[in-house]
A and B are shown apart, each in its own frame.
Chain A
Amino acid sequence: MPIVEKIPLLPDQVPSAAELNKVYDDLAVATTAIDEDNGGSNWLTYAHLIDPATNEPINKLYFAAYNGPTAVNYNSTVFQSMVSNTGTITEVNLDYFPNETEVLRLHMSGLVGVPTVNVDYDFVGANLGKPNYYAFRIMVTYSDSGGPDQNFIAGYWGYSFTTNGLNRYDTTSAPTGPSINWQTFQASTIVKYKGITGVRQYKKAILQVAVFDNSNTLSVVRQSLQAVRARK
């Protein structure tokens, strides 16, 4: 059914003013809700994608990085925040309330330096295969309904200190292999908020690292963390 109707007129019929006005008045109403079919060139610009109330763009990019070149060492067996050589934590301040089903993108990457490796062989039992590993994770801090800060982990990503592959699963000490130096690490993930709009406040995303065996020290030359939010 057409949005704008034209009333057919017969020969010798005198149209009323209402009949003649209708097509134009209908159009005046219809054009209060224009869609993409009849927009002029450049009708949509980036200026229209900025919320005039908050002056925020339609998507927002958060970024934190330590760009070296001084390496920072880590040998904690519990996850600790990654820092610059002056102690600045690699974190981004999100500080927004996600809408229901909203997706948050998270990326991290970096470059390992020269680790110090003392143990890369495997043990039997629960620790089988683990001493050779270190891992990164992205932790998101949030608050629900103004309550205390809580955390969830957006993802874990593990790497090996050495190339020691042939001695895998030895039950006793094996020669420690050459360390894997100067390799990049990188990961991406997404987080979907499934709660009610306006309840949860994302506060921070933090890049963290841990080693399994504290006799091994991981050296990191640079790292970066990015978050991308698309508002709805």
Chain B
Amino acid sequence: MAFIKPYTYVDGTILSADDQASNDDAVKDYLNSGIAAGDYAGEFIDFDQIEVGELEPITGAYRFMSGEIWGTAVGTAAPERSYFTSNIRNGKQTAVNPSIYQTVYETGQTVELIHEGDLLITFGGTFKCEENEVQANGRWDSTVVLRYKDSPTAKWENVPGTEAFTFEETYSAGTAPRAVTDLNPFPIIAYPASERPETMFRRFIGFTWLIKGLSPGIYTFSVATKSKAEEGFASARSFTIEIFYA
């Protein structure tokens, strides 16, 4: 509610110090952050009072304030690459299904939800893998997936709708070891010269996915790789989390 003075002056009436002080104190209290949420209770705040979602037709730029946004973006410079490898534990390099996850740098974000909310998460990155020197077993794709946990001691939980792969799996229909003659891309020389799949080793992986109905709390997110490649990296990449409170 708006300010109301405690004391009203009346002509011909002797003013007391207390009455004057009561008005002055009330003003100080009110103006020094005394305005409470209830003062606005009757005033619905509409979107254009905060940020207008609009398109600038000359430049094509647009702005859209949808909620809290947490994001990072990394360019293509070599020092900014996020490397991953299957060599970090003995025997995992040729494992049929390795279980070692490695975070893609700059995709780890911790956000706090003060109410129950939905998180819209967008990731995009360029992935490049080098040719293996050893024979891969089973499927030879490296997995990329979004993971999260709700406390430092909790286990990471994969988000199934975000799973993607760094290779084509063109000829890998089963889990049997791949032979060079079976057009395994490790090494890639098995392919006809006209169809060498160098492009299979470099691809853009992206997703936009919604995680609905998270309870209030602190959540840590990470895009991780489960690598079958001896050497791979993500170069240009961006990662954003948008919070939508219901």
Q: A residues engaging B (CB < 8 A)?
A: 16-18, 20-21, 24-25, 27-32, 34, 38-49, 51-53, 57-59, 61, 63, 65, 67-68, 101-103, 105, 107-109, 111, 114, 163-167, 175, 177-184, 186, 188, 190, 192, 222, 224, 226, 228, 230-232
Contacts and interface: CB of A to CB of B under 8 A. Distances in A.
Contacts of A182: 141, 164-165, 167-169
Contacts of B13: 17
Interface in B174-219: 183, 191-192, 194-195, 197, 199-200, 203-210, 212
B23 A61 contact: no
A28 B4 contact: yes
Contact of A34 (B40, B54, B118, B210): B40
Given A42-B37, A182-B165, A231-B46, A59 B66 contact: yes
Given A39-B33, A163-B199, 14 more contacts: A16-B11, A17-B11, A20-B9, A32-B2, A40-B36, A45-B37, A58-B45, A63-B118, A105-B64, A111-B163, A111-B164, A165-B199, A177-B195, A178-B171
Interface string B66-85: 11000000000000000000
A67 B162 CA distance: 9
Contact of B195 (A53, A114, A164): A164
Interface string B30-45: 1101111101110111
Give chain B's interface residue range (CB within 8 Å of chain A): 35 or more
Given A17-B11, A20-B9, A192-B55, A27 B171 contact: no
B90 interface: no
14 contacts: A27-B5, A34-B35, A57-B244, A59-B47, A65-B210, A102-B53, A163-B195, A163-B199, A178-B200, A181-B168, A183-B165, A224-B207, A231-B46, A232-B47
A69 B163 CA distance: 11
Interface of B: 2-5, 8-11, 13, 15, 23, 27, 30-31, 33-37, 39-41, 43-48, 50-55, 62, 64-67, 115, 118, 120, 122, 124, 141, 160-161, 163-165, 167-171, 183, 191-192, 194-195, 197, 199-200, 203-210, 212, 244-246
B95 to A, nearest CB: 19
A34 B39 contact: yes
Contact of B64 (A17, A65, A190, A222): A190
Nearest to A50: B44
Contacts of A231: 46-47
B141 to A, nearest CB: 6
A229 to B, nearest CB: 9
Given A38-B31, A101-B54, A167 B120 contact: no
